[in-house]
Amino acid sequence: MRRWFRKFLPLLLIIGSIVIVVMLVQIAASKRPELKDQATAGILVDTIEAQVKTLNFKVYSQGTVRPRTQTSLVSEVSGKVVSVSDDFIAGGFFREGEVLLQIDPSDYATAVKRAEAALASRQAKLADEQARSEQALRDWRNLGRKGEPSDLVLRKPQLQDAVANVNAAEADLQKARRDLQRTRITVPYDGLLKEKLVDIGQYVTPGTRLGVSFSIESAEVRLPLSKDDVAFLQLPSAVEAQETPFPPTTLYSTEAGTVRQWQAQIIRTEGVVDEVSRVIYAVAEVIDPYGVLGISQQDELRVGTFVKAEIEGVAAENVVVLPRFVLQGDNTVLVANSDNKLEVRKVAVVRAEPSLVYLSDGIAGGERVVTTTLEAPIPGTRLTVAGANPAEPEPGTNAVVSAAGDEP
């Protein structure tokens, strides 16, 4: 009996396994599957609504604030610096005509007096020669001589020499007075001292640099513009510059996390294309950048500040503005149509900026533009738009049989 059991045990195990499997299949087949409505699963995407706008293009540039007028103060006479203004310090503001430095004027005042004396002496000699010439003419006539007297008789050479001496003395006096005036160092504008190079007690000679100053009436910013930038700006030519206004400009700078801005005006272009960078420079002007003159109510704009510029460009009508990243490399845009299916649209690009793109054709207002990156966009692909209400199943959609669930 034991020998028979050992012989047929494997066969019994195989038959038992087959019976168990058949029973499980019958049990599973006896349950009715749950029917679920099918709404074909789509790719989940984010979209934005396209809006048609009328606007002015903005052109962006950047540059450094520079003074429009800058002066190197140089001594024209020699002498010791005997006084210095309190405003003659780096960063000091001064008014037009204010005496910043005084060079010792004593020798030059003496030279003025000497020149005045020399002029008086030569004027006296000229008067004497004029009197002698007139007397010579009277003597000629009193003697009853006929004809006109010669130049020598009338002492005209001596008279001309006296006139020349008077003119030379007047020139010497003018030079002496100018030298005396040059001992007072002034600047013909309201300004700020950028650099101080001498101080009281120092001896200076003609050509000695005394300091550097610049005007605070206005400042300028050179803004590089590419060929594409210029196409979107109304920049008058050199001939039209006096009649056609230049576009307004807003300057920006970030300081300590705070964005500050100033209103400026482009006043000219430099008229040449840089041979290296291939850009043309427009110059924007800011009036009263330090706010000292009371002309401007804007914040202080220091010379040397690096600023970004936003220049108002030409007007554009009926354009769609979208984020730059939605534009594909072949100038196409992905659109979710009314059936939640993907469309690949060819668009007409008016202008492309680093962050925005402006389209004139290909997208209508109100259409949903896909902002989700799709590696292989295929037209007709079903989409599920994030945030939208679930769509009703389309008529004729087949049912999907689920392997799980109980009988209803």
pLDDT of the residue at 389? 56
How far CA 325 is from CA of 50, 141, 175, in Å, comes to: 14, 108, 72
| CA 408 – CA 3 distance, rounded (Å) | 53
User: Tokens 């600047």 identify what position?
Assistant: 187
**pLDDT band, very low/low/confident/very high, at 140 (cuts 50, 70, 90):** confident
| CA 23 – CA 19 distance, rounded (Å) | 6
Prediction pTM value: 0.69
Give CA angle at 45 (42, 47), nearest 5°. Answer: 130
pLDDT of the residue at 407? 38
| CA 238 – CA 15 distance, rounded (Å) | 104
Which three-class secondary structure state does DSSP give residue 13?
Answer: helix
Q: What is the pLDDT of residues 177-205, one digit of tens each?
A: 999 999 999 999 999 999 999 999 999 99
Q: What is the pLDDT of residues 70-119, one digit of tens each?
A: 999 999 999 999 999 999 999 999 999 999 999 999 999 999 999 999 99
Six-digit token string for 233: 């700006």
How far CA 364 is from CA of 54, 194, 318, 345, in Å, comes to: 14, 57, 10, 11
- Closest residue by Cα to residue 81 from 95, 100, 67, 68: 100
Six-digit token string for 285: 């002007």
Which three-class secondary structure state does DSSP give residue 118?
Answer: helix
186 contacts 174 by C-beta, under 8 angstroms: no
The interaxial angle of helices 106-142 and 156-182, nearest 10 deg, is 160
